[in-house]
Amino acid sequence: MFAIVQTGGKQYKVCEGDIISVEKLDRAVGDKITLDVLLISDNGLVVAGNPSVKDAVCEAEVVSHGKGDKIVIYKYKPKKNERKKQGHRQPFTQVKILSIKK
C-alpha cells in the first residue's frame, strides 16, 4: 500500500515506515501530524481524490529538524567591479509515516 501526500506545496509518494524530508513545519519533535492524501493504492485498487481522497488519513510523526547543504549564489557584472557572494541553507523537517488508512 502506498499513497501520494501533499505538504509544503509538494507531493511525495510514501509507504508505512518511510522517513521523508519535507519543507519546514512549525511542530515540535515527537508531534503527530496528518497529511493530505491525494491518491491511495492498495494491491492494484487505485483511488484518486478531487483534490483529496475523502476518509483517507495519513498519520506521521516529526522525527527531526535540520538544514540542507549550502548553496552558493554568486552575482557578477563584468567591467563594473560588482561582485556579491551569498549562501543559503534550506530548512527541512524529517517526518516518519506511521499509518495510511482509507
Q: Provide the pLDDT confidence category of residue 44 given band limits of 50, 70 and 90.
A: confident
Residue 74 is predicted with a pLDDT of 97
Cell readout for 76 is 557578477
Q: If you average pLDDT over residues 54-82, what whole number do you get?
A: 96
Q: Are 79 and 26 in contact (CB under 8 A)?
A: no
> Is 60 exposed, middle or buried (CB count within 10 Å of its CB: 0-12, 13-18, 19+)?
buried
Distance from C-alpha of 22 to C-alpha of 69, rounded to nearest angstrom: 15
Q: If you average pLDDT over residues 45-61, what whole number do you get?
A: 93
Taking only the tens place, the pLDDT of each residue in 72-102 is: 999 999 999 999 999 999 999 999 999 999 8
Residue 99 is predicted with a pLDDT of 95
Taking only the tens place, the pLDDT of each residue in 10-42 is: 999 999 999 999 999 999 999 999 999 999 998
DSSP string covering the chain: -EEEEEETTEEEEE-TT-EEEEE--S--TT-EEEEEEEEEEETTEEEE-SSS-TT-EEEEEEEEEEE---EEEEEEETTTTEEEEEEE--EEEEEEEEEEE-
Q: Is the pLDDT of residue 58 over 90?
A: yes
